[in-house]
Amino acid sequence: MANLARRLVRIASIASGATVLLVIAFVAYVQLTWNRPVVRPVVAMKAPLDAARVLRGKYLYERSMLCWNCHGSQGGHSPAESQAGGRVFDLTLVGPGFGVVYGSNVTPDVETGIGRWSDGELVRAIREGVSRDGHLIFPVMAYQFYHGLSDDDALALVSYMRSLPPVRNEVPARRLSFATRSLIAVSLMKAEAPITQPRTAPRAAPSTEYGEYVAWRMAGCAECHTPRDPKTADLDLGRPMSGGLFPFPEEDFHTTGPNLTSDVDTGLGAWTEEQFVTAMQTGVRPNGTVMLPFMPWPAYAEWDRNELHAIWLYLRSVKPVSHRVAVSTFVGVAANARGPARGEAFYRSYCLTCHGGKGLGSPFTSVALKDAVRDFDDAALVRVIEEGLSGTSMPGFKNTLSKDQIRDVVQAVRSW
């Protein structure tokens, strides 16, 4: 019995020692290999700088792909702000804890932006996730979706970025967790496949094929509305557009991309195409509630009707999936405070995109709220927020916010 006990202790000690050695070896392997360069050629490409191409790139950047939401230097509040990067993405509480990354400077500044990048290097970064120096870009940059972007559209983006005024802004280095470095080291997080042949888009027409291109490549529909593995962030391609699995943790609210399949109970099965178009262009759902502009309807409001019809055709072609996502919830000040503090939180959630910081305006509205409110007393302003303004993109919030919440918003606006 004593000999058996000694043998078991010895076996356990050997196993523990081997485990420790394996852990040390794995940690060393990760540290030595996670940041290895991605060796692949850069395809020679040239972005045309004519006005039509720049305008197409501006449309993609501002109204479709919403690049400013990540690359804006003031946190992505408006496409009018400098695109010099620096927005913080704190992902320490997302999945396994990915770390902290920053939106990059995409202005033509030579020292801190894209001034030294070739057009081919920029297209490779957008579509494959490989930086100029050959390192993996963290996939908060949605290159897994842009991988299917056509050459013409990718180069139009480059044309537009070249047209931006250069801004010197040194963005901090990313801080990736060991879990993220491990995923990169074992190639569970990796660049997209090299693109070496010309890539074209379906003809811009009201068709299922073009709708799929818009939903997956030109816009963020698939990015927010398709389930992901919470540990690896891999897309569940067997359930496209069936809604997210976990919420996006914003400052004032947590929200999840809803189910867009034609399932009647949990998706859009009971919606008509006209209701879908109305929601995309005005932010108002069939039940009269207003969507958070986290779903960027103010930008999509200017989409061509053919694009919206094409997306509708595509969504109707996708397999219906029964998946009820978590409802959006308000947190922090928006949930717990009262008065102007809560009003400002609701303003950030619903009004900031269109009306800008402190009501100073944005490209999505022609009226500076800070000035416009002087023409209304508090009761009249409450009515405007409740009912909206006909002939404008301002929706009514009477089915979305309570009268007390709207009064708090009015107090916040008056305090500026």
Say what the pLDDT of residue 308 is.
95
| Residue in 400, 373, 399 with CA at minimum distance from that of residue 384 | 373
With H, G, I as helix, E, B as strand and everything else as coil, classify residue 248: strand
Which pLDDT score is estimated for 25? 86
What distance in Å separates the CA atoms of residue 204 and residue 281, rounded to the nearest whole number? 19
pLDDT per residue as tens digits for the range 379-395: 999 999 999 988 888 99
Q: What is the DSSP string of 304-347?
A: -HHHHHHHHHHHHHSPP---PPPPPEE-HHHHH--THHHHHHHH
- CATH number for the region 333-414 comes to 1.10.760.10
- % residues pLDDT > 90 (the chain): 69
Residue 299 has pLDDT above 80, yes or no: yes
Q: Summarize the confidence of residues 167-184 as an average pLDDT.
A: 92
Q: What is the pLDDT of residue 93?
A: 80
What pTM value is reported for the model? 0.88
User: What interhelical angle do 305-317 and 273-282 show, nearest 10?
Assistant: 130
**Inter-CA distances, 197 with 42, 190, 209, Å:** 12, 21, 20
Phi, psi angle pair for 281, to nearest 5°: -95, -20
Half-sphere exposure of 380 (CA within 13 A, CB side): 6
pLDDT in tens, 79-111: 888 999 999 999 888 778 899 999 999 999 999
Query: Judging by beta carbons within 10 Å of its beta carbon (0-12, 13-18, 19+), is residue 395 exposed, middle or buried?
Result: buried
Rounded Cα distance between 338 and 331, Å, is 13
Mean pLDDT of 270-283: 96
Question: Cβ(262)–Cβ(256) under 8 Å?
Answer: no
Closest CA to 108 of 53, 65, 47: 47
Beta bridge partners of 25: none
Spatial CA neighbour of 142 closest among 80, 213, 222 = 222
Q: Please determine, for residue 351, whether its predicted confidence score (pLDDT) is greater than 90.
A: yes
Res 28: pLDDT: 85
pLDDT-based confidence at 77, cuts 50/70/90? Answer: confident
Q: Give the whole-angstrom CA distance, residue 105 versus residue 288.
A: 39
DSSP-based three-state secondary structure for 374: helix
Consecutive H or E run containing 26: helix 2-33
Among 310, 293, 329, CA closest to 216: 310
For 229-242, letters b (16+ CB in 10 Å) and e give: eeeebebeeebbbb
Which residues make Cβ contacts (< 8 Å) with residue 167, sequence separation at least 6?
Answer: 73, 82, 83, 84, 105, 107, 109, 113
Domains of the chain by residue range:
51-185, 208-317, 333-414
Helices and strands, number each (H, E), in the chain: 18, 6
Strand partners, 329: 254
| pLDDT at residue 20 is higher than 80 | no
Kindly state the helix (H) or strand (E) to which residue 52 belongs, with its residue range: helix 51-59
Short-list 308, 99, 293, CA closest to 218: 308
pLDDT of residue 57: 97
358, 332, 327, 346: which is closest to 404 by C-alpha? 346
**Position 182: which residue type?**
S
**pLDDT bracket for residue 258 (50, 70, 90):** very high
pLDDT exceeds 80 at position 221: yes
pLDDT at 218: 93
Asked whether the predicted pLDDT for residue 298 surpasses 70, the reply is: yes
Residue 169 has pLDDT above 80, yes or no: yes
How far is it, in rounded angstroms, from Cα 203 to Cα 411? 49
Element at 88 (helix H, strand E): strand 88-90
Return d(Cα 224, Cα 258) in angstroms, integer: 8
The mean pLDDT value for 287-304 works out to: 92
Q: Does residue 5 register a pLDDT over 70?
A: no
Residue 134: exposed, middle, or buried by beta-carbon count in 10 A (0-12, 13-18, 19+)?
middle
